[in-house]
Amino acid sequence: MGEGISDYTKFCIDLRRHMWMAGVEMELRRLIWQIAVTGKYISAKIHESNRKLAGFKNIYGEEQLSLDRSADTILKNQLQFSGFVREYASEEQDAVVHIGEGSEKYFVTADPLDGSSLVDSNLSIGTIIGIHNGSMMGDGRNTIVAALYITYGPLITMVYSAGKGTHEFVLNREGEYVLSQENIRLKKRGYIYCLGGLRKDWTQSHLQFVEYLEAEGYTLRYSGGFVPDINQLLIKNGGVFTYPALKKNPNGKLRLLFELQPMAFLMEQAGGSATDGKKNILDIPVDDIGQRSPIYIGSHFEVEKARAFLEKA
């Protein structure tokens, strides 16, 4: 599907029709669609936000915005009554939440509002979702069947994959997600790089990788939000995002289960790669829901180049 679709025709294909045409299994279609609809409710909550902190810290000791807690509650409540989800794990929860009757097929992971600290400066933020057909623990390659993220920016967009390519949808004025880009494909080599962490905290091997990118003339683009930066790489068809191991924090910053696995799935479905510098992200076992990992994600060339520099260390 996809070849020969005109610009006019693709804007007539909504999310549900696209998943049906792509042969996505019915229950998974309904679950993805329900999560996409939930994104509308989260978007509405963002627009009425007063940017205030909630006065709490999450399980990782980070300040929570009221938006974080609201987005998590909205998402959990919607999934609880879906009939398809057995367990829900969220970056805002301290344990896996059993929300089904025990016989449901899917296990959902969520970063309900990635980049929420950017709200006060009115930058794009997002929601990241992973959908598994087995326990979330272990390695993601054997269980993850779909992933998506929703970007709340000038446009509200959703990028999803159910193992049949990576596709972008735009929320139109009628409240429907309509096809914008089908089968997004990354070029083997891009020109954008997004760098997390402070330069003074980088390891020598990572610094050498960055210096290589700089010498090659790559363009620096970094928003401070994982969703908008990954979205930029996908829509611009290439480049690399990295939040590396740091001298005092060898596990980096980003969470394997909630952030890295879903984005790695989407990136691989678009022809890209994701690694911690040695192992592919989807092959790393999850031992704890809060587990963190370094990340190099994007076009195949840049990710393999990073691996080559890190293997020298």
pLDDT of residue 172: 94
- Contact between 71 and 112 under an 8 Å Cβ cutoff? The reply is yes
Q: Reduced to 3 DSSP states, what percent helix, strand and coil does the chain have, rounded to the nearest 5? A: 35, 25, 40
pLDDT at 7: 56
* Fold type of domain 7-181: Fructose-1,6-Bisphosphatase; Chain A, domain 1 (3.30.540)
Residues 23-46 pLDDT 10s: 999 999 999 999 999 999 999 988
Task: Kindly indicate the confidence band of residue 82, based on its pLDDT and cuts at 50, 70 and 90.
Answer: confident
Domains 7-181 and 192-311 share a fold: no
Q: Return the structure tokens found at 49.
A: 């936000």
What span, in angstroms and rounded, lies between the C-alpha atoms of 246 and 217?
A: 24
User: What are 108-147's pLDDT values in tens digits?
Assistant: 999 999 987 787 778 899 999 999 998 888 788 999 999 9
pLDDT of amino acid 184: 98
Q: Which of 114-123, 179-188, 199-208 has the lowest mean pLDDT?
A: 114-123
Q: Backbone dihedral region of 231: left (phi > 0), alpha (psi from -120 to 50 degrees) or beta?
A: alpha
What is the Cα–Cα distance from 290 to 94, expressed in whole angstroms?
A: 9
Note the pLDDT of residue 64. Answer: 45
Residue-wise pLDDT for 150-176, tens only, equals 999 999 999 999 999 999 999 999 999
pLDDT exceeds cutoff 60 at 10:
no
> In whole angstroms, what is the distance from residue 56 CA to residue 290 CA?
18
What lies within 8 Å, CB to CB, of 134 at 6+ separation is 107, 142, 143
Checking if the pLDDT of 1 tops 50, the result is no
pLDDT of residue 128: 98
Pick the residue with more confidence: 218 or 58?
Answer: 218
Instruction: Name the percent of the chain lying above pLDDT 70.
Output: 91
Domain segments of the chain: what residues? 7-181, 192-311
Name the nearest CA neighbour of 251 among 284, 227, 283, 221. Answer: 284
Q: How confident is the model at residue 292 (pLDDT cuts 50, 70, 90)?
A: very high
Considering only the top CATH level, what class is 192-311? alpha beta
Q: Which residues contact 308 (CB under 8 A, 6 or more apart)?
A: none
Instruction: State mean pLDDT over 286-313.
Output: 94
Amino acid at the residue 30: R
Q: What local confidence, expressed as pLDDT, does residue 63 receive?
A: 47
